Structure 1
Amino acid sequence: MNNHDKIRKVAIIGYNRIPFARANTAYAKVGNQDMMIAALNGLIDKYKLKGKLLGEVAGGAVIKHTYDSNLIRECVMKTSLDPATPACDLQQACDTGIESAIYIANKIALGQIESGIAGGVDSISDIPMAVSENLRKILLDARQEKSLGGKIKQFFKLRPKDFTPLVPRNEESQTGLSMGGHTEITAKYYKISREDQDNLALKSHLNMSKAYDEGFFDDMITPFQGLDKDNNLRRDSTIEKLAKLPPAFDKTNGTLTAGNSTPLTDGASCILLASEEWAKEQGLPILAYITFAEVAAIEYVKNQQNLLLAPLFAASRMLDKAGLTLQDFDYYEIHEAFAAQVLATLKIWESPELSKELGLKKSLGAIDRNKLNVKGSSLAAAHPFAATGGRIIGVMAKLLNEKGSGRGFISICAAGGQGITMIIEK
């Protein structure tokens, strides 16, 4: 069959992840490979993929060591998939997981492959550290020396300060501000109150607690390193406890806290995508379909309040292409990097004036907030950068499959002023 003359439907077949863990807790002694392999093995076992040759596996990590340069391929080789399954690394900050899904989905839609896995992983606990620039240069010069005396002469140039390790900094290189620092500006610019941020955070924890109690996550998570649930989840969270937390970024006049912002996190997730024909051949049910996706970027150096608002542009373009309105959805999943960023997104959608000021053609209108992040989201689960996309796609696919029909809207923001939106349908 020649598949080049039509665009095929892309089915979501399965999902799996390990519990997410706050940095330097349960996964303090493991790294990206260990976590990604655990997530993949859980998917392989669940959907009987042992020995299967898949079209491709794509994913990546935002933070990784130099020896992780071929991370996803190395992980695939250490699973029970057919070792002839190709793999590649992608990286687009917090969009990495969902961008990987788009990559695999496009290949399936074009008939290039029949099946594939998309995923992502990040370890903040196993963060790489670099040496100082002066130490690096001296070590390189010493390697060029022919004699032992020449090497020693180079080493005598070293000073105590040269041995101070360089830890990656959580900041935008263009502005020197952290993501939280930018979002604090967003909260002030769009007048997002501390009370509203705390209420959104509380709802995320309450929704996720209820989802765990109802067994929603039972078939979605592979236990790992003694964890069977996300350890950032606070079942006992209250609005009073959240209100007592001090500002985390602007210590004097800030509204962002550790309670309404996501913490640094370790974790991995993956999803199984395929053509309808492949799913039928394998005897696997189709949970839902990826039908539209859009990537966008935004200027955030001069307009520092914009860092996490690129999905607003992605959503507008995507909905135009799909011929849909923002109200045509049964569920909405908006990545909760910060409560303030979610609330700013909703406020801009609802305001023709703010939409015009941002440069949007029109406001998209209000959504039913009872349909938003109904099983909790990143403020409760936490946020291992590259793994969040897989978690959110998995949740949306399961929601639609359980409902039996409908549409889901996904929005994920990312560092570097980027963002992705996606439509999933059943």
Structure 2
Amino acid sequence: MTILRMRNVLRLDYNVLLPKISYSWATSSNASRNYATKGDSPAGKNIVYVDGVRTPFLMSGTDYGKLMPHELAAHALLSLQRKTNIPKEMIDYIVYGTVIQEVTTANIAREAALAAGYSDRTPAHTVTMACISSNMAMTTGMGLIASGAYDVIVAGGVESMSDIPIRHSRPMRSIMLKAAKAKSLGQTLSLLASIRPKHFMPDLPAVSEFSSGETMGHSGDRLASAFGISRSEQDEYSLRSHKLAQKAQQDGNLSDMVPFKVPNVNKTVDRDNGIRVSSPENLAKLKPAFVKPYGTVTAANASFLTDGASAALIMTEEKAKQLGLKPKAYLRQFTYVSQDPVDQLLLGPAYAIPKVLNLAKLSLNDIGVWEVHEAFAAQILANLKAMDSDWFCQQYMKRSGKVGIPDLAKWNAWGGSLSIGHPFAATGVRLATHTANRMIKEDQQFGLIAACAAGGQGVGMIMERHPDAKL
């Protein structure tokens, strides 16, 4: 039996109608461009990305295991302030993203800001949109700036998968809440006496879709089958991600990462710990992680649970000039998309890329830097096949023809989430900072960010290199 025949694993078979793609992962070439010819910002304001930072991204259960999420976020905020040398009192507003919410710090943006020493007069709020939460933090900041409400905003994201909230079962919660409100000892004892062994079974969180009950790993296997993506293709892409991240790490290109002296631990963390270059032979030995025994998604070609935080400074170009700052990029256009959360859960980039290009009046060939979130190798390859299919684009995206395939030599050239890691809400800012830094390093004018998210959603963002940009 093949996975294509498995009920509840696959509903659509796109593969029979899609072209075969020959992927070329060659090295990018530099190209000098003129500035500000296309891609104007919304509302007519030039909004700039001054800089961004992040903690090292660590596999969950390692050196950040005893920290609370707001401590990671506070370190990112402090590191951003030190890197940009902007006084804290100049920050008008802080927006942070998070996905797995720590209940004791519900508005983590506010708690992180206070922990980082920001004034208690600096407003802060928290947003959530699954894996694109810090993208939402950035675009929320853009909206606040475009409206004229504020000039200077810090946007970021944080995630800790080492200590996720685990709830008592609902019956147990109900009994405990009633017991807390009991008016007499007798009422309290009566309620406690009603507790049964089954009540002690906790509600364990899972990385799965509420609407379908299916994990993202199953969706990755679904896409691999539907688009005819082999296990070897997935492993090859994953290995590419790790090799490029390792080289970027060795070459000092991951300069957005700031070392972290972990509190109460005699250790300074100064690098991502998930980057591991293996051999094709070793990758091929791994067993399926989700759909067993027929699946092709494994621990090696899927992103891993990660702890980390990020932060970025955005403002009007006029304000940056007043403060003597040298922005790295303009934040030009953005869009959010959503589609079928079952068969097309992870296809957000395929839908967002042409939409944001159209908004910015740009083409695929105008983009010199691509930074696309790697949830799974299968997800990346499926999005590329969808974009290069006349049938898929006509049938599902209501286009006259295919979008086409980007220049893959310019695609995630410093690795991606498969290797660097993926703290859900922190990844968006990591993508933006890598885009800005790569545009400078590779002498490119435009960069495009895209990512999928739970619920069948996605984001596309356009950045443009600032003429004063420096690394």
| TM range, smaller chain | over 0.9
Mapping for residues 161-240 of structure 1, pairs under 5 Å: 161-225=198-262, 226-234=268-276, 236-240=277-281
**Shift in Å at residue 219 of structure 1?**
4.9
Contact kept, 8 Å, 2:59 with 2:274, in 1: the verdict is yes
SS across alignment from 1:308 = coil
Alignment match, 2:362: 324
Alpha carbons 2:134, 2:427 under 8 Å: kept: yes
Q: What is the distance in 2 between the residues matched to 1:18 and 1:321? A: 33
Equivalent residue number for residue 464 of structure 2: 425
CA displacement at 1:213 relative to structure 2:
1.1
Give the C-alpha shift of residue 51 in structure 1: 3.5
Q: Secondary structure at the match of 1:272?
A: strand
C-alpha distance in 2 between matches for 1:336 and 1:201: 9
- Does 1:334 pair with 2:372? yes
Q: Does 1:243 align with 2:243?
A: no
1:183·1:305 contact (CA, 8 Å) conserved in 2?
no
Instruction: Give the alignment's Cα RMSD to 1 decimal.
Output: 1.5
1:355 to 393, 399, 404: 393
Equivalent pair of 2:256/2:433 in contact (CA under 8 Å): no
Equivalent residue, structure 1, for 2:323 = 282
Task: Please report how far the alpha carbon of residue 405 of structure 1 lies from its aligned counterpart in structure 2 after TM superposition.
Answer: 4.3
Which residues of 2 match residues 95-106 of structure 1 at below 5 A? 95-106=132-143
In the alignment, which residue of structure 2 is the partner of 1:255? 296
Kindly state the Cα deviation for residue 12 of structure 1 after the two structures are TM-superposed.
0.5
Give 1:399's match in structure 2, choosing from 434, 438, 450: 438
Partner Cα distance (2:248, 2:378) in 1: 24
SS at match of 1:67: helix
Structure 1: 5+ residue stretches without partners: none
State whether structure 2 residue 171 is matched by structure 1 residue 134.
yes
1:372 to 411, 418, 422: 411
Tell me the SS of whatever aligns to 1:279.
helix
The Cα offsets for residues 316-357 of structure 1, whole Å up to 9 and x where unpaired, read as 222222222222210111100001010011111111112223
Q: In the alignment, residue 334 of structure 1 is paired with which amino acid?
A: V
| Comparing 286-295 and 397-406, the one that deviates more | 397-406
**One-letter identity of the residue aligned with 2:410:** K
Q: Matched residues, percent identical?
A: 36
Give the distance between the partners of 1:266 and 1:149, measured in 2 at CA: 46
Aligned to 1:306: 344
In the alignment, which of 151, 155, 158 is matched to residue 195 of structure 2?
158
Equivalent AA in structure 1 for residue 360 of structure 2: A
SS in structure 2 at match of 1:356: helix
C-alpha separation in 2, matches of 1:410 and 1:242: 28
1:148 aligns with 2:185: yes
Partner of 1:413: 452
* Deviation (angstroms), 1:404: 4.5
Question: For residues 83 and 45 of structure 2, what CA distance do their matches in structure 1 show?
Answer: 25
Distance 2:317 2:257 in 1: 22
Task: Indicate the residue corresponding to 1:268 in structure 2.
Answer: 309
Residue 74 of structure 1: SS of its match in structure 2? helix
Tell me: CA distance 1:314–1:51, structure 2 relative to 1, closer, same or farther (3 Å).
closer
Of stretches 395-404 and 188-197 in structure 1, the one that deviates more from structure 2 is 395-404
TM-aligned CA deviation for residue 312 of structure 1: 2.1
Distance 1:238 1:424 in 2: 35
TM-score by length of 1: 0.95
Going from structure 1 to structure 2, the CA distance change for 1:173 and 1:190 (only over 3 Å counts) comes to same
Match of 2:426 among 384, 387, 398: 387
Q: Distance in 1 between matches of 2:332 and 2:301?
A: 32
Corresponding residue number in structure 2 for 1:8:
45
**Aligned residue type for 1:409:** L
The answer to whether the Cα contact below 8 Å between 1:131 and 1:163 also exists between their aligned partners in 2 is yes
Q: For 1:257-295, what per-residue CA distance to the aligned partner results, in whole angstroms no more than 9, with x for missing partners? A: 100000111111111111112212222111011101000
| Alpha-carbon separation, structure 2, partners of 1:184 and 1:229 | 31
1:78 Cα deviation from its structure 2 partner: 1.6
The answer on whether the counterparts of 2:259 and 2:271 sit within 8 Å (CA) in structure 1 is: no
Equivalence for 1:297: 338
d(CA) in 1 for partners of 2:73, 2:126: 12
Asked whether the equivalents of residues 209 and 215 of structure 2 are also in contact (C-alpha less than 8 Å), the reply is yes
TM-score (normalizing by structure 2): 0.86
Read off the aligned partner of 1:393 and give its amino acid letter. Answer: A
The separation in 1 between residues aligned to 2:104 and 2:232, in whole angstroms, is: 44
Who is 2:73 aligned against? Answer: 36
Q: 1:217 to 1:132 in 2, by over 3 A?
A: same
Greater shift in the superposed pair: 91-100 or 162-171: 162-171
